[in-house]
Amino acid sequence: MNNGKFVLSMREGVARASEVRFAHPLNVDILKGENVAVVGPNGAGKNLLVDTLLGRYPLRAGSVVYDFSPSESNAVYKNVQSITFRDIYGSSEANYCYQLRWNLHEQEDIPSVREILGCIDDDAAALLQQFHLEDFVDEAVVQLSSGELRKLQIVKALLNKPRLLVLDNPYIGLDVPTRTMLGEALAKLAASNELQMIIILGSREEVPSFVDSVFMVDNRTLLGKFRRDEFCAAGSSVVGSCIDVLRERVLGLPYSGIDFSCDEVLAMNKITVRYGERTILRDFSWRVGRGEVWALSGENGSGKSTLLSLVCADNLQSYACDITLFGRRRGTGESIWEIKKHIGYVSPEMHRSYLRNLPAIEIVASGLHDSIGLYRRSTDAQMQNCMQWMEIFGIAHLRDCSFIRLSSGEQRLVLLARAFVKDPQLLILDEPMHGLDPMNRARAKAVIEAFSQRKGKTVIIVSHYEEDFPSTLTDRLVLKKIK
């Protein structure tokens, strides 16, 4: 029985389904008023732990008791709001396709922010202002940047006045001012005692100051519950000698990409992009030379992802713009496949569109053909190449695992391997470290640095974290949001 001290108490909990079961029975207590973090590496079982605690997986053994008083009902679905940050655009997952954000006219039933939230009463207006979204009320939700959409999801959850709010990696993809604002807003909520929070994170460095306790998870094992101060003071070591070996392996790879002779990879001349009344880019010009490594940054909504969608021809407005890629003017008869065959690409939009029940190695192999999913049969040599890149990213053991059953961090590693697999001349990485734990961030950064040192390789990388940029940077571009 819950003695009134706990908002949640599980005893000897064992999930019925073996595929979501922890290595040992779960014994977990979350005190009333206690804000907790769940921390562990990619694939450790952080989300499985939270989902099991919240009754999303029926128990074969053990019990769980909730007490969300003073709410009248103890039903979890009435008292818990969860934000998984898959960043679904539109009214359902089925409405989202890879290029939808850039080509809004292709679908007429995309809701606005106002329609998503319903009636904008005083509470909604206050939250919109607190999260700096008041100017987007009548925007189609598909036109929000990842950071803007993140904030909208939080506003929507808070309007339901939950007793328990679950946030999965709330800070990823947010610029520095927005991360600061979100941290302050969450701290204010925690201090008000109006709700409690469970925050799922990849590293101890991200644990916010308002968290009281930390559950450490690894290899589907709950390692214990720690006070925040003792957990953060313990420190961590994430970079081993294997990183140097990894760099040498990438540098030693045989040259297998499609070559071209043009020294100017990209030229944009006075580009303007608008969506309705909102201008994203205005009279923008940019030159990228062969072998350059660019850091692309700017606040949420400044147009970074839109800019890259023009380069990759995912945005139909690219054909009305003065763009030259690999020495060829856009719109002079080239097919989209001729454009993409030189490019390796990963982005939050791509991640959202890959809801495919396919083995991980087939997702990697789809990068050879620039398809979403594997629509061509690959040769034995090509599949060996796919395995090589999966080994480099530490995911060879996931070869035959269904992509949709992987953790979000494991999915991102698969998509990174997909971007590298054809040894592209131009590598475009839009927030490549999303959802990665410290060890895998170090691994991905080492691979990017080594790849950028190979002859003739050009790299453009987007991030809000300075530490994500490789040491091989040659140039920087900072976009400013058009007011």
Tell me the CATH number at 386: 3.40.50.300
pLDDT of residue 372: 61
Domain co-membership, 229 together with 251: no
Last residue of a domain, one of 233, 267, 292: 233
Give how far Cα 387 sits from Cα of 25, 363, 377, 393, 398, Å: 35, 12, 15, 10, 10
Angle, helices 122-130 vs 146-159, to 10°: value is: 150
* Residue 133 within a domain: yes
* Residue 185 within a domain: yes
Cα–Cα distance, 142 to 155 (Å, whole number): 16
Cα-Cα-Cα-Cα dihedral sign, residues 4, 8, 12, 16: positive
- Angle, alpha carbons 148-122-153 (nearest 5°): 25
Q: Which residues contact 314 (CB under 8 A, 6 or more apart)?
A: 98, 99, 102, 349
Domain co-membership, 200 together with 307: no
pLDDT digits (tens, 9 = 90+) for 175-185: 888 888 888 88
Q: Does residue 114 contact residue 93 with C-beta atoms inside 8 Å?
A: no
Domain co-membership, 188 together with 322: no
Domain co-membership, 305 together with 408: yes
Domain co-membership, 283 together with 390: yes
Cα–Cα distance, 361 to 406 (Å, whole number): 12
Q: HSE on the CB side for 291, CA within 13 Å?
A: 7
Tell me what the pLDDT averaged over the chain comes to: 84
Domain co-membership, 108 together with 79: yes
Token digits of residue 230: 């003792």
- Report pTM: 0.80
pLDDT digits (tens, 9 = 90+) for 338-397: 778 889 999 887 887 777 788 999 999 999 887 665 556 778 888 999 999 999 998 999
Q: HSE on the CB side for 404, CA within 13 Å?
A: 8
pLDDT of residue 72: 54
Give the least confident one: 54-63, 67-76, 138-147, 430-439. Answer: 67-76
Domain that holds residue 107: 6-233
* Residue 224 within a domain: yes
Q: Are strands 458-462 and 278-289 parallel, antiparallel or unpaired?
A: unpaired
Domain co-membership, 228 together with 246: no
Q: Are strands 80-83 and 59-66 parallel, antiparallel or unpaired?
A: unpaired
Amino acid (1-letter code) at residue 79: N
Domain co-membership, 130 together with 224: yes
Backbone angles phi, psi at 140, to 5 degrees: -65, 135
Domain co-membership, 20 together with 137: yes
Beta bridge partner(s), residue 108:
none
Task: Decide which of 252 and 416 is more confident.
Answer: 416
Cα–Cα distance, 25 to 266 (Å, whole number): 56
Cα–Cα distance, 422 to 146 (Å, whole number): 28
Last residue of a domain, one of 175, 207, 233: 233
Q: Does residue 95 contact residue 353 with C-beta atoms inside 8 Å?
A: no
Res 93 pLDDT > 60: no
* Residue 104 within a domain: yes
Cα–Cα distance, 219 to 394 (Å, whole number): 15
Domain co-membership, 203 together with 292: no
Domain co-membership, 299 together with 431: yes
Last residue of a domain, one of 216, 233, 250: 233
* Residue 186 within a domain: yes
* Residue 135 within a domain: yes
Cα–Cα distance, 22 to 39 (Å, whole number): 15
Q: Does residue 186 contact residue 83 with C-beta atoms inside 8 Å?
A: no
Give the least confident one: 155-159, 246-250, 276-280, 319-323. Answer: 276-280
* Residue 1 within a domain: no
Q: Predicted confidence band at 88 (pLDDT cuts at 50, 70, 90)?
A: very low
* Residue 437 within a domain: yes
Q: Are strands 264-275 and 278-289 parallel, antiparallel or unpaired?
A: antiparallel
Domain co-membership, 200 together with 254: no
Give how far Cα 403 sits from Cα of 15, 174, 357, 412, 452, Å: 22, 25, 6, 10, 28
Q: Which residues contact 308 (CB under 8 A, 6 or more apart)?
A: 296, 345, 347, 428, 430, 460, 462
- DSSP annotation string for 180-231: HHHHHHHHHHHHHTS-EEEEEES-GGG--TT--EEEEEETTEEEEEEEHHHH
Q: Predicted confidence band at 96 (pLDDT cuts at 50, 70, 90)?
A: very low
Distance linking the first and last C-alpha atoms of the chain: 56
- The total number of structural domains in the chain stands at 2
Task: Decide which of 336 and 162 is more confident.
Answer: 162
- Residue whose structure tokens are 């106002």: 114
Give how far Cα 107 sits from Cα of 99, 168, 204, Å: 11, 29, 42
Widest Cα–Cα separation across the chain: 74
Q: Predicted confidence band at 437 (pLDDT cuts at 50, 70, 90)?
A: confident
Res 2 pLDDT > 50: no
Give the least confident one: 132-141, 210-219, 286-295, 327-336. Answer: 327-336
Q: Which residues contact 70 (CB under 8 A, 6 or more apart)?
A: none
User: Residues 264-284: what's their mean pLDDT?
Assistant: 89
Q: Does residue 56 contact residue 11 with C-beta atoms inside 8 Å?
A: no
pLDDT of residue 363: 92
Amino acid (1-letter code) at residue 186: L
Cα–Cα distance, 286 to 300 (Å, whole number): 20
